[in-house]
Structure 1
Amino acid sequence: MTSSNLILTNVTKRFGGLTAVDDLSFTVKAGQIYGIIGPNGAGKTTVFNCITGIHPCEEGSIHWNGEDITRLPPHKVAERGIVRTFQTIRLFEQMSVAENIMSGRHIKSKQGWWNGIFPTPSSRADEESNWDVVAELLHFFDLEAYAVKPVGALAYGIQRRVEMARALATEPSLLILDEPAAGLNENETQELIDTIYRIRQRGVTILLIEHDMDLVMEVTEYLTVINFGKKIAEGTPDIVQADPAVIEAYLGSDDDDF
């Protein structure tokens, strides 16, 4: 298990006059399955974008394993072991399942561009090693039967598994999942729950956004709840789901009818 922590301190992100994330602080401990929940438009995905360098925050700081990563670009964040999936699946549809997973190995590869023209024994060994990782992940995600099939021709639930396999191909310490259960049926959601636990067993810390509250309450160990970009509650799932501020944010108060 890694000893890395993710620490957000007073993070604020604005888009023009809109404050999407407002003075947000939380800490994800190594080995946790940590959830961020809130109503639609609460700023959850923007939080992920700040962590991964897509939208650097204007105020506050983000530290990972003791290093300030607040303004690192996405590829530098990924090199430090933080990778993510997206609400909308982003795969190379014309490429095979195995090739899509292999694309996640680029930050681990020791080859230079010139090795595509002048392969060396070391570059061939490196490529073989990368394909060994792909084979292991095909097995881990039960994707072996689809290895050579184009991703775009596969069912949505299978594509979700490919996306997660590609993320794990980077050998992350922190895996960020943005609504991983979106579009899945009941059986696929249960398989996802099992997969999340198995990924954690590999020593990977997991941070997720999810609207499926049954999934959230089952798998997460700690939650931060945000609304209009601000933290309104945090704690274990049983504490959070009984918090009046959380209930109001999701269900509205009696005053909202007037």
Structure 2
Amino acid sequence: MAGRELILTNVTKRFGGLVAVDNLSFHVREGQIYGIIGPNGAGKTTVFNCITGIHPCEEGSIKWCGEEIKDLSPHQVVQRGIVRTFQTIRLFGQMSVAENVMSGRHIKSSQKLWHGIIHTPTSKKDERENWGKVFEILDFFDLTEFASSTVGSLPYGIQRRVEMARAMAVNPFLLILDEPAAGLNDNETQALIQTIYRIREQGVTILLIEHDMDLVMEVTEYLTVINFGGKIAEGTPGEIQDNPAVIEAYLGSDDDE
């Protein structure tokens, strides 16, 4: 049986005449904290959208645990243990923190429609177990005190934690984070770094996009750098930070002046 590895091979995604992802390959191994970096508009989020079934790719292969997943719908991808957060927070603003996290449990629920209508013992047991899991997750993310608070009334940094908590409610094997440090202050970013390590300790592989290079260099074990949709470099953080192609992509070259 194949391990829990994500392998992209020669993936290409086009939008009309625009090539957003160009013949991209990389390999995320089980247990890694893996980073995808590149300048704005490089195609990073599109890569995540292809992996999670939002945008089907025209060419190439996306394999998870040895299974081809490039043609699966988003909910089928989630069912296989791949869950993501978004660059722009997408929470239910009028619902409580606990209810938002509970919304991530629906795919784990064993209830049928009629169970909820007549409140069978099965439905009560299932709901009790799911709420128990929710409060475990709230405790993990230090969100218990905000359980009954309306999400829309909370500071941005706490909302970021709620979004990650909702993703973890699915019990993922692979957690995909799209710019998790965006909008966070220095203290919140340091707390995020520790949270990422703690999530990995739960046996979860992490794939992230991030523009905060201090965070990237601290937490990731391996990086792929893309520009104009194609790979320009890959390696450890130490190898990447001194790579001339990466420096040119971010800072430009003398010929650009």
TM-score bucket of the superposed structures, by smaller chain: over 0.9
What CA distance in whole angstroms lies between the structure 2 residues aligned with 1:32 and 1:100? 28
Residue pairs, 1:51-70, within 5 angstroms: 51-70=51-70
Match of 2:119 in 1: 119
Question: Which residue of structure 2 aligns with residue 160 of structure 1?
Answer: 160
Is 1:250 matched with 2:250? yes
- Taking only the aligned residue pairs, the percentage that are identical comes to 77
- Distance, in Å, in 1 between the alignment partners of 2:42 and 2:117 is 49
- Letter of the 2:102 partner, please give it: M
For residues 158-189 of structure 1, the C-alpha deviation after alignment (integer angstroms, 9 at most, x for no partner) is: 00000000000000000000000000000000
Equivalent pairs, count: 256
Taking the TM superposition and a 5 Å limit, the aligned residue runs for 1:197-236 are 197-236=197-236
Residue 93 of structure 1 is matched in structure 2 by 93
Work out the CA distance in 1 between the residues paired with 2:167 and 2:114: 26
Q: Where does residue 150 of structure 1 map in the other structure?
A: 150
Match of 1:132 in 2: 132
Instruction: Give the aligned partner of residue 189 of structure 1.
Output: 189
Contact 2:3 2:66 in 1 (8 A): no
- SS of the residue corresponding to residue 207 of structure 2 reads strand
Letter in 1 for 2:168: L
Aligned to 2:40: 40
SS, match of residue 14 in structure 1: strand
Whole-angstrom CA distance in 1 between matches of 2:113 and 2:232: 49
Give 1:3 deviation, angstroms.
3.3
Q: Distance in 2 between matches of 1:176 and 1:20?
A: 19
Root-mean-square deviation (Å): 0.8
TM-score normalised by length of structure 2: 0.99
Write out aligned runs for 1:101-116 (5 A). 101-116=101-116
Q: Contact 2:115 / 2:122 at 8 angstroms: preserved in 1?
A: no
- Report the Cα offset of residue 111 of structure 1: 0.3
Unmatched tracts of structure 2, length 5 or more? none
The whole-number CA distance in structure 2 between the counterparts of 1:215 and 1:203 is 21
Q: Which runs of 4+ in 1 moved over 3 A?
A: none
State the 1:9 CA deviation: 0.4
Q: Deviations over 1:39-91 (max 9, x none)?
A: 00000000000000000100001000010001100000000000000000000
Give, as a single letter, the amino acid of the residue that structure 2 aligns with 1:185. Answer: N
How far off its partner does 1:114 sit? Answer: 1.5
1:82 aligns with 2:102: no
Question: Is the Cα contact below 8 Å between 2:232 and 2:245 reproduced in 1?
Answer: yes
TM, length-normalised to structure 1: 0.98
Q: Which residue matches 1:31?
A: 31
Q: Is 2:8 the partner of 1:8?
A: yes
Distance of 1:23 and 1:3 partners within structure 2: 24
